[in-house]
Structure 1
Amino acid sequence: MNYLPFFLNMQNKQIVIIGGGKVAERRLIRLLPFKENITLVSPTSTESLYQLIHSHKILWLQTKCHLDHFKKADVIVIATNDPITNQYVMKNAPSTAWINAAHQAEAGNMHFPIAIQKGKLQIAISTGGASPILAKKLKKSVEAELPDQYEQYVDFLFEARQLIKQLNITPPTKKKLLHEIVEKPIYTQKEQQAWIENLKKQM
């Protein structure tokens, strides 16, 4: 397996989704946080995809795929059931593009793992194509372990870490404080605010 899990900064990345079916719809849903940079190319679409396109104001080129549509793309999602179109895109895609090929996963150079996101916390799960069912099962198990307050808690950890880094104390003491708020989680907003205020007083 030649894939390395990592997170890609999608700011200003041009995304092209080619296809108008269920797979294109699923990929679009995953990429909606970057909707300003998405272009969808397909002569037709499913009704549910059509609703997504219009409710999120996605740029939809209602035509057959052409080189001009993806020659400057940073991320290309190939999600058609037309082998000729799929092969055309694979052959002509920019060498620098990240390509997700739904028709033949190994033909592309990126996959969409099962993902869990709670604010700044992101967890990706993949079985390398061995069992999507297992990946979904693992997602449910992980989600069940995360308290409802976890998004707020991670935001608290972020703010606390920024303040601790600025304190005039030794590196080991900073490390001890960082470990403390993870080993003994502080979930209530009142306690978090008190902790932050205490750090600010030490600055």
Structure 2
Amino acid sequence: MSLIPVMVDLNRRHVVIVGGGKIATRKMKLLKETGARITIVSPSIEAALQSLQKNGDFIWKPKQFEKQDIADADVIIVATNDSEINQQVVEGAPCHALINDTEDAERGNMTFPSFFRKGRLTVSTSTGGASPSLAKMINQKLQTLFDDEQYEEYLDFLYDCRKLIKGSSLSKSEKIDFLRKLLDDEFKNKEKRRNLVETLKAKK
């Protein structure tokens, strides 16, 4: 399995989690803010999932897995403690679906890397299934590099400036120069950032 990192918008996509234990709970907590339509298929679910289900965060089908449960799924998360059922889920998946097999990553076609967010910044780390614990450790070390709250403000500044530059009357080469200039250390200063934004607004 050869994987590449991508960012996926799951808003309104149908995600089916087969399983109701600790792994299913972790995946559910990760996905519940994405806007996805989430269904959990499992005869029982643990207490943490029951609380989320009462909030309407997902639909629970209290039953054994059947192939039709994933017929219209965009993303399938295989998370039971029964290897035979996990195999059935993978084999029954529609060809268009992304499959995360938490028991055997090689059977699926997607994984969830360790990641953290800081405002607009998202940093993820994967070890290709070799050691999720190491990926988490690396991510924790990386996170210390971006703990400064000013970094979030700086990223918002970069985002706003990029929109202004792309919509300005500047030539292509001038736009490229401006985008590079934004990375200069001088723009870590709030006053410098404010002045540049005003300059760019005047160039519309």
Amino acid corresponding to residue 170 of structure 2 in structure 1: I
Does the alignment pair 1:184 with 2:185?
yes
Does the alignment pair 1:46 with 2:46?
yes
Whole-angstrom distance in 2 between the partners of 1:188 and 1:55: 43
| Structure 1 pair 12–169 and aligned structure 2 pair: CA distance change class (3 A) | same
Using structure 2 for the length normalisation, give the TM-score.
0.90
| Structure 1 pair 175–75 and aligned structure 2 pair: CA distance change class (3 A) | same
| Structure 1 pair 29–23 and aligned structure 2 pair: CA distance change class (3 A) | same
Does the alignment pair 1:201 with 2:202?
yes
CA contact (8 A) 1:35 1:56 kept: no
- Deviation string for 1:57-110 (max 9, x for gaps)? 321112222222211101000100112321221111101110000111111111
Who is 1:104 aligned against? 104
After TM superposition, the structure 1 stretch with the greater mean CA deviation from structure 2, 85-94 or 71-80, is: 85-94
Gaps of 5+ in 1: none
- Number of aligned pairs? 203
| Structure 1 pair 57–129 and aligned structure 2 pair: CA distance change class (3 A) | closer
| Structure 1 pair 90–35 and aligned structure 2 pair: CA distance change class (3 A) | same
Whole-angstrom distance in 2 between the partners of 1:149 and 1:60: 41
Deviation above 3 Å: which 4+ runs of structure 1? 185-194
Whole-angstrom distance in 1 between the partners of 2:9 and 2:35: 14
Gaps of 5+ in 2: none
After TM superposition, the structure 1 stretch with the greater mean CA deviation from structure 2, 58-67 or 179-188, is: 179-188
Who is 1:142 aligned against? 142
CA contact (8 A) 1:19 1:79 kept: yes
Whole-angstrom distance in 1 between the partners of 2:11 and 2:158: 24
Who is 1:26 aligned against? 26
Using structure 1 for the length normalisation, give the TM-score.
0.90
State the Cα RMSD in Å: 2.0
After TM superposition, the structure 1 stretch with the greater mean CA deviation from structure 2, 148-157 or 13-22, is: 148-157
Report % sequence identity: 35
